[in-house]
Chain A
Amino acid sequence: MVVTGMRNTRGVSVIAVAAMLLGSYGLSAFANDGPKVMYHEMVGNATARDRYVADAWSRLEQLEAEQEEAVQVTVTLQRSVSPEDADKIVEELGLKLHAWEAMVGKGTVHRGTVGRISDDVADVIRRLQRDVDPNLTTNDIRVVALFGTIDPSDAVRARKNEDVLSIDPTGDKRVSGKEKSRFAPHLFWTFADYYNR
């Protein structure tokens, strides 16, 4: 969350007003072609989500055609996986991993989410055991999204990977036009049944 040029949790600046206006374009404001998709429209709506995902793939193809170097992306997985399986997916994709995000829970009972993890899983568990639940273990961690950099050509190839819902480059500054690259929000929560995936 950024309101550039001032403390962003306080005053609502001219830029924030601009954000309000431009925000109506939703997450795909940067996708030049095709219908715009707002985040809430994708919640439980596969058609709207597919439109957004297709925009992201098109953008990656464009980056590949322009022979752009590695791009900063958010990878949304089709279903939650163990940290070990997430490692395999990272390798398959050729992703230079920056961080990952995971659901936390006992069995199928969703308890919470731990985000943007770049530390060892052991460190994450140590903190969660101390501050959330002393009984949590590595087995309670299920990865739902990956954040990293990838060559556009590798990303385009990953379209056939059945573990991957989308690879979204819209946080990269070359796509967003912003001063700093970021990671776009992942789409896992737009699944109506995400608790059980």
Chain B
Amino acid sequence: MELARSWPVKLVVLTLAILLVGSVKALAAYTYSPISTTNPQESYSPDTISGRMGYDDRDLELMTQAFNMKWSLTRINNLRNYQAKDQYYTIDISVNNDYDTTVSAYTSTHYTDLPGPIFDTDDDGGLLGNGYVDETEVTVTRPDRLQALQAYQFISYWGVFDTSGTTFEWNSQLSEPFLGEYNAVDYEFHFEKTFPWW
């Protein structure tokens, strides 16, 4: 009789425990990394920039983000002067090893609220690449539309093949159009972040 009374209770407790663990797992499926922030120095870079990553362990999908990018009026004027020379600001988020095989940027689904954006991705390992896209960037072709001290962002997405570890870098660049794409003529390193971060 004692056994018969305790089994239903145990079943209920066990079911609740499974549901609880499952829901915690579901809640934990998407997590954000710590945030990095810096105040760049170059005349074309934003006065401030932050970066973070987000990881979805169900879809094996990594999000990299540059955000809180704010330009002062002085630096916006710098960008407009560069624009007159056909030079433009680019924010670049890349793996720091061209031959990395743990992640590959989606060649689709980049998001930004920067004005006049031209997106690009690259696979730089070797002459023709190694099949893993290691670079994502967006060039701002309409700096005349930038608002002083407004916070802008750029997001790119990556497929994750294994979590053995890799490092991403955030760089600002000054770019020029060249044969249908934008080439860096100068750059400023901001910070790097390691994936996974836990």
Contacts and interface: CB of A to CB of B under 8 A. Distances in A.
A104 to B, nearest CB: 7
Contacts, number: 166
B179 A176 contact: yes
Interface string A76-97: 0000000000000000000000
B167 to A, nearest CB: 13
Interface stretch (B3-11, B12-20, B33-41, B184-192): B184-192
By DSSP majority rule, is chain B's interface helix, strand, loop, or mixed? Answer: strand
Nearest to B152: A112
B182 A1 contact: yes
A30 B179 contact: yes
B2 to A, nearest CB: 50
B142 A111 contact: no
Contacts of B54: 130-131
B103 interface: no
Interface string B126-142: 01110000010111011
Interface residues of B, number: 59
Given A40-B83, A118-B107, A124-B109, 10 more contacts: A20-B185, A30-B180, A111-B113, A112-B113, A115-B112, A115-B138, A117-B108, A117-B109, A119-B109, A194-B116
Interface of B: 30, 54, 63, 65, 83-84, 86, 90, 92, 94, 96, 98, 106-122, 124, 127-129, 135, 137-139, 141-142, 144, 155, 157, 169, 171, 173, 175-187, 189
